Homo-oligomer: A and B are copies of this chain.
Amino acid sequence: MTDTAPLSGGSLLLAWQLKDKNVLIVGGGDVASGRIESVLVADAHVTLISPSAGLHPLTKRFIERYPERITYHDRTFGGVADLERADMVLTAIDDVEKSREICALARARRIPINVADIPPSCDFYFGSQIRSGPLQVMISTNGQSPKLANIIRKQIEQSLPENAGEAVEKVGVLRSKLRERAPGVGGELGKRRMRWMIDVCTNWEMEDLALLDEDMMAKLLDDGWEKNQVPGLEEVGGSKRRPSASTHKTASVWLLSAAAFSAGAACTVAVLLARRH
């Protein structure tokens, strides 16, 4: 708690769990297609209600590609029966009155709802997002500036280590292998496991973590975990990837300096030669 930042004006940012949950999406246009993608990422089952005439090409592609994950109804919203099994409702239709009606029905049943473009009818908002494997980042400006949210998203995307998503995935696998090798919940062992994983994440570069394969993980656990130490990439049989962008940047600074050094030398020679004549 810092004394300067006022504790207000924000949202509660959450990673909502939708595995095996039912999400009702009303509408099939541009916005709806984005919603479908977002909830499929979260392993939800989608029930989509929208007349086929209004389907966005992307929405059509989703329906065709994931028939087992999307139940599609070619019609408009049919009333409260459509909410029967819904764990979440997302609407993205142009009809404001209909949207508000769906919102009232959902709220009466305490089903979380987002109505596109009608903030008071939203229990939650979506933000600008980045996804790379199991790594997800959301940027919210709390409605102040969607454009800046987008600009900031792009900046963050560029600044993220190239293999951050891969690194997260590999560390997740390593972690579950460690849990198999040293099972049990909590206690001293749990603490030691957590400390060792933190040491690995701290000592290794993100791009090196992304290189971990089955053999290297086995060696890391044998030579690292068992001996309570953290061997490096080469020590477990890995080798560095080609220089990364940031290495390039450093290299170019030194090249520039070397060029300047040579230029300085050359100019001095020229000046001195000129003086001689």
Query: Taking beta carbons and an 8 Å cutoff, which residues of A are in contact with B?
Result: 1, 5, 7-18, 37-44, 58, 61-62, 66, 109-112, 122-127, 129, 131, 133-145, 147-149, 151-152, 155-156, 159-161, 164, 167-169, 171-172, 175, 197-198, 201-202, 206, 209, 253, 256-269, 272
Residues of chain B within 8 A (CB-CB) of A262 are 264
Residues of chain B within 8 A (CB-CB) of A138 are 13-15, 137-138, 140
Give the docked Cα–Cα distance between A258 and B264 (Å).
9
Give the docked Cα–Cα distance between A272 and B273 (Å).
10
Closest Cβ neighbor of A10 among chain B residues: B41
Give the docked Cα–Cα distance between A40 and B13 (Å).
12
Are B10 and A13 touching (Cβ within 8 A)?
Answer: no
Of the residues B41, B148, B209, contact of A167 by C-beta under 8 Å = B148
Of the residues B37, B156, B202, contact of A156 by C-beta under 8 Å = B156
Give the docked Cα–Cα distance between A123 and B164 (Å).
26
Are A10 and B42 touching (Cβ within 8 A)?
Answer: yes
Are A43 and B9 touching (Cβ within 8 A)?
Answer: yes
Give the docked Cα–Cα distance between A110 and B106 (Å).
12
- Contact A125 to B201, CB < 8 A, known contacts A8-B41, A159-B159, A265-B265: no
Are B151 and A206 touching (Cβ within 8 A)?
Answer: yes
Nearest Cβ in chain B — how far from A274, in angstroms? 13
Q: List 11 A-B contacts (CB under 8 A).
A: A8-B40, A12-B39, A13-B13, A14-B124, A144-B175, A148-B167, A148-B171, A156-B159, A156-B160, A263-B264, A268-B269
Give the docked Cα–Cα distance between A155 and B109 (Å).
42
Of the residues B9, B149, B164, B265, contact of A268 by C-beta under 8 Å = B265
Closest Cβ neighbor of A34 among chain B residues: B1
Are B18 and A11 touching (Cβ within 8 A)?
Answer: yes
Nearest Cβ in chain B — how far from A98, in angstroms? 16
Of the residues B13, B137, B142, contact of A134 by C-beta under 8 Å = B142
Give the docked Cα–Cα distance between A2 and B32 (Å).
17
Residues of chain B within 8 A (CB-CB) of A172 are 141, 143-145
